[in-house]
Amino acid sequence: MEEIDKHGRGDAFTRVAPYYDHLMAGVPYRFWVEYLERLWRQHGASPRSVLDVACGTGTVSRMLYQRGYSVSGVDLAVAMVELARERALEHNLPIPFFQQDAAELDLPGHTFDAAISLFDSLNYILEPARLAEAFRRICVHLGPAGSLVFDLNTEYALAEGFFNQSCSRKHEPLHYRWRARYDRDTRLCTITMRFVLNREEGDPLVFTEVHRQRAYTRDEITGFLQAAGFTHVAAYDAYSLDPPNKRSDRIFYFAGKG
């Protein structure tokens, strides 16, 4: 039995990349996209070009393209970008994907009406200064009336163990067990993800990825966004137009330049 450990932010979404779409199969992507469009309408935004930051394997990018948007995607993980390109090619969709760190975003000649970053991707930026810089770099790539929509896991979600998940159903080829540990002093959540892939031939493949997320307060996020150049910031309890509350496990933010 082969066992491989992967530690650190740079290794997250490396070994698990080929199985990411399988793990996310239960995610209601259409619902997320429709909610994204609802937030745009709520703020009078009607973007035509969209930058998908931390795009993963590009599922949302492809859905937006098929709904008539011009889309580009960026992601830090090399393996995820390669898969995003392969999936777009399979669907004959001319979506460009770039391997870049959001805090070092640099796409010369590219300006977008809107940027998005979904599925708590920005929680993976552990240093506040780098998250603030990511917002600044995204803002630079937006037009005068551009906007950014993203979601974050809250401290409530990270502290209450929402990442503690497992799957061991016999018919599933990929089994997993995730266990989270939250440090209230550093506001860092460490999630040890152990996977077992049952193969038709040979022993199961066992591998581990260690993911880390940081909890940010609404005041911190608002301050970072305003310093980055966004003049209007609104926050919502996930999938609604209601304000966040103390038991909100996910908050969506809309940040507008104009």
Please state, for a pLDDT cut of 70, what percent of the chain lies above it: 96
Q: Which two tokens stand for residue 231?
A: 């003049």
Mean pLDDT, residues 134-158: 98
The reported pLDDT for the residue numbered 4 is 32
Same fold flag, 2-7+157-213 and 10-155+216-256? no
Tell me which fold the domain 2-7+157-213 belongs to. Answer: N-terminal domain of TfIIb (2.20.25)
pLDDT tens, residue by residue, 208-221: 999 999 999 999 99
> Quick check: 122 pLDDT over 70?
yes
Packed helices 128-140 and 218-228: angle between N→C axes, nearest 10 degrees: 40
The H or E element that residue 146 is part of is: strand 142-153
Query: Residue 3 — very low, low, confident or very high, per pLDDT cuts 50/70/90?
Result: very low
pTM attached to this predicted model = 0.93
Mean of the pLDDT values across residues 42-55? 98
Burial 68-96 (b: 16+ CB within 10 A, else e): ebebbbbbbbebbbebbbebbeeeeeebe
Q: Distance (Å, rounded) from C-alpha 131 to C-alpha 122? A: 7
What is the separation of C-alpha 68 from the centre of its chain, rounded to a whole number of angstroms?
Answer: 22
Q: What are the residue ranges spanned by the domains of the chain?
A: 2-7+157-213, 10-155+216-256
Residue 42 has pLDDT above 90, yes or no: yes
Question: Is 11's pLDDT higher than 80?
Answer: no
According to DSSP, residue 204 is labeled: P
Q: What is the C-alpha separation between 194 and 116, in angstroms, rounded?
A: 29
Quick: pLDDT tens for 181-204: 999 999 999 999 999 988 878 788
Architecture of domain 10-155+216-256: 3-Layer(aba) Sandwich (3.40)
Structure tokens at 128: 């506040």
Q: What separation in angstroms does the CA of 116 have from each of 1, 53, 121, 174?
A: 40, 6, 10, 30
